């Protein structure tokens, strides 16, 4: 999302954690912009994190 300070903070933190997530959990961090995934999961608030396990989204409130 353009001009979103909170989005930049989240992205920076995830980039810093990326190697740990890959090594410990085999979890990949992927940045999505202007994707059909955004419409499909339509987070009410941005930034949003969506976790997937075996291709299935894990949705949390």
pLDDT at 38 over 80: no
Residue pLDDT, tens place only, 12-24: 998 898 888 888 8
Mean pLDDT of 2-20: 86
What share of the chain has pLDDT > 70, as a percent?
Answer: 85
* pTM score of the predicted model: 0.59
**Domain map of the chain by residue range?**
5-58
Strand partners, 53: 56
11 Cβ contact partners less than 8 Å away, ≥ 6 residues apart: 31, 47
Strand partners, 58: 51
37 Cβ contact partners less than 8 Å away, ≥ 6 residues apart: 50
């Amino acid at each position: 999302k353009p001009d979103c300070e909170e989005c930049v903070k989240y992205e920076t933190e995830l980039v810093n954690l990326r190697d740990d997530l890959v090594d410990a959990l085999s979890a990949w961090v992927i940045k999505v912009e202007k994707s059909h995934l955004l419409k499909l999961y339509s987070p009410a608030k941005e930034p949003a994190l969506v976790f997937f396990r075996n291709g299935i989204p894990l949705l949390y409130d």
